Structure 1
Amino acid sequence: MEKNLPTGQAGKTGKPIFAAGRYLKYAIGEIILVVIGIIIALQINNSNELRKEKDQETIILSDIKEDFLATRLNFLETIKNQERSILGSRDLIDAIEAQDYSIHPDLIRKYILRGAFSHHPAIAITGSYNAIIGSGKTSIIKNKELLKALANFSSQYQAGFEDETKSDNLLNLMMAASKDFYSPLSDDVVRKSIALKKKYSLQEKEIAVKNLYENEAFLAFLIQKTKWETSRATYHKKLLKSLNKVLYQFNFNELTPEKEVYSKYIGNYTNKAVEPIKISYANESLYVTGWGGAKSELVQLKNSLFYAISWNQTLEFISDDNATNKVLTQWMDRDPVEFEKVEN
């Protein structure tokens, strides 16, 4: 016979079940709040990390830009001095080979000091880039084109000019061979800086020039050194081109990427007195062709001013009042020549 439970017995039995369910809901709620808190904390932390990384990137990019702007100035000065040195060496070679005694000894001295005995290395400032390579933090830089340009420049610069030591060795040989003429034709500024008292007469300088002209070893070394210096200047212009590609990524106001201006410059240019020239574009680079079919790649100095990499020549693109496009070419030792673009 089924016994009736006392009033309220079922309620007492259900309370623990009800309490457990309420506790479970409370626990789940607590877990959800903790998870949400963790997610929020992670988001805040990630946001802080991203901000720190962005700040680091800004500092690194600023340092790299500063280094490469300084390097660019170094390269421009080096290339200018190299070209003057090459011209001075050529003038000295011509004087020696022609045995030209009509040239004043002081001018011969200038050819020696600023040509034969000059040496101008191109120094790159890469401390900031080397630092991030060393730290393994290149991922901080988000601009992949910039990273590629930096890597290309660094690789080309570190490889160096294969015949750099030949030029240095030839310079040493030339100095050793100059003992019979160098003192009378040495630099007055250098002599004063080390307090030398001897003053050479014009006659003594003329004798020194005669000894120079008869020094076949010195001439042989000079010709070889001039050849290697010309190759070094070409190499440094190529380095400048790689450096420009880095600065293009910083929107440097003195440079406009060649791929953005080539359509304005390419074409045929004429001058009634000389052979026409052609400006072409290939592989993201401008080229000039002329002077008997010779061809040279161009490297940008400023927005409309370029070096011919293979020659001692600049090309400046200009427009006259009638919006006629022209190019002004100038070899280092010649007067400028103006060419007018032929409209297609």
Structure 2
Amino acid sequence: MIKFFRKIRQKLLNENKFSKYLLYAFGEIILVVIGILIALQINNWNTERINNNRVKQYAKSLIQDLENDIAMINVSQFQAKKSFKKIDSLRSYILSKDLSELSNTDFFVLTHDIMYRPYMWNRSTFNEMKNSEILHNFKNDSLKKKLIAYESFSYHLDEDFDQDMTNAHKAEEVTSEIMDLNNPYFSQMLVLENERFNDPTLDLFKTIEYQKAKKEDRVFQITDENNLKKFVNAYIRIQDSYRIRAFKEMDEIKGNAKEIIQFLNYESQ
């Protein structure tokens, strides 16, 4: 093809048809420009196609991460709500009895395992998206802001968890000072509860293990109401935090995740 055009140019020059040569040369330039533009457009189409496929892949992967986050939060929320209600029962139990009537076994049931499971966020896909700058190719301009806000909220909940864990450890220290945990059936109750981890109907007070533990009940070590008040206050602080965590913040971040998933479903199509 190049040789063909070269022959035409040479023939026009040999025949002294300079004006026709200029016209031909101009036409050849136009063809070259058109060819370049077509090549650029094809390249743009390919780049756009590749970016669209990447967006769809990242959107699907991020949807899976967020769905896993929601499932993870559901477990932590279940535990936090369960502990919140347990502390409520502890307060009612103490108010309903004299100091001499308090049971070491009852206190164990009402105070053990009051911490919820730590968060295990799925951040790998979003971190990849930030590093690859693929977010610029998403159609929804507000999606990036929502994802950054979600990530920030998750780090906030991590900080809350650390504080809740600190308060739980403090409560356990107070508990160890006033309770005798040397009961052979306490561990059996823990095993039972672990086996029925997500069973909301489990009531340790109605189990055979609890009845056996009561028969081996130790002498309760609180003999002063001030110590009892100190003990209760430690758990009330935890309950106040769980009220915000379990009944507000966890619901809020799950709602944010579901909203982002709706946007991502559109992007993944």
What TM-score do the two structures reach when normalised by structure 2? 0.71
Q: Aligned pair in 2 of structure 1 residues 177, 161: CA closer, same or farther (>3 Å)?
A: same
Q: Aligned pair in 2 of structure 1 residues 230, 201: CA closer, same or farther (>3 Å)?
A: closer
Matches of 1:103 and 1:135, distance apart in 2:
61
Partner of 2:88: 90
- Gap regions ≥5 residues in structure 1: 1-14, 193-199, 253-344
* 1:78-108 Cα shifts (integer Å, max 9, x gaps): 2222111100111122213333788986664
The structure with the greater share of residues assigned to helix is 2
Q: Aligned pair in 2 of structure 1 residues 159, 167: CA closer, same or farther (>3 Å)?
A: closer
Q: Partner of 1:205: helix, strand, or coil?
A: coil
Whether 1:60 aligns to 2:58 is: yes
Whether 1:125 aligns to 2:139 is: no
- Gap regions ≥5 residues in structure 2: 1-12, 193-211
Whether 1:211 aligns to 2:221 is: yes
* 1:184-213 Cα shifts (integer Å, max 9, x gaps): 274326689xxxxxxx86444252xx3368
Q: Aligned pair in 2 of structure 1 residues 137, 77: CA closer, same or farther (>3 Å)?
A: same
The answer (yes or no) to whether the contact 2:76–2:116 under 8 Å persists in 1 is no
Partner of 1:44: 42
* 1:151-191 Cα shifts (integer Å, max 9, x gaps): 32223223347654442222111222222323327432668
Q: How does 1:79-158 map to 2 (within 5 A)?
A: 79-99=77-97, 108-114=107-113, 117-158=114-155
The structure with the greater share of residues assigned to strand is 1
Matches of 2:223 and 2:141, distance apart in 1:
57
Q: Aligned pair in 2 of structure 1 residues 93, 182: CA closer, same or farther (>3 Å)?
A: farther
Q: Aligned pair in 2 of structure 1 residues 212, 69: CA closer, same or farther (>3 Å)?
A: farther
Matches of 2:262 and 2:157, distance apart in 1:
23
Q: State the one-letter code of the partner of 1:136.
A: E
The answer (yes or no) to whether the contact 1:145–1:249 under 8 Å persists in 2 is no
Partner of 2:17: 19
Matches of 1:75 and 1:163, distance apart in 2:
14
Which of the numbers 250, 258, 268 marks the counterpart of 1:236? Answer: 250
Q: State the one-letter code of the partner of 1:245.
A: E
Which of the numbers 156, 168, 171 marks the counterpart of 2:168? Answer: 171
Q: State the one-letter code of the partner of 1:228.
A: S
Partner of 1:313: none
The answer (yes or no) to whether the contact 1:173–1:221 under 8 Å persists in 2 is yes
What is the deviation of 1:221?
A: 0.8
| Alignment RMSD | 3.2
Matches of 1:121 and 1:222, distance apart in 2:
19
What is the deviation of 1:48?
A: 0.5
The answer (yes or no) to whether the contact 2:86–2:110 under 8 Å persists in 1 is yes
Matches of 2:160 and 2:151, distance apart in 1:
19
- Structure 1: which 4+ aligned runs deviate by more than 6 Å? 100-105
What TM-score do the two structures reach when normalised by structure 1? 0.57
Structure showing greater relative contact order (alpha-carbon pairs closer than 8 Å, 6 or more residues apart)? 2
Q: Kindly tell me the number of residue pairs found equivalent between the two proteins.
A: 227
Partner of 2:4: none
Q: Partner of 1:132: helix, strand, or coil?
A: helix
Q: Aligned pair in 2 of structure 1 residues 62, 87: CA closer, same or farther (>3 Å)?
A: same
Partner of 2:261: 247
Partner of 1:314: none
Identity of aligned residues (%): 20
Matches of 1:222 and 1:128, distance apart in 2:
38
Matches of 1:139 and 1:31, distance apart in 2:
36
The answer (yes or no) to whether the contact 1:78–1:122 under 8 Å persists in 2 is yes
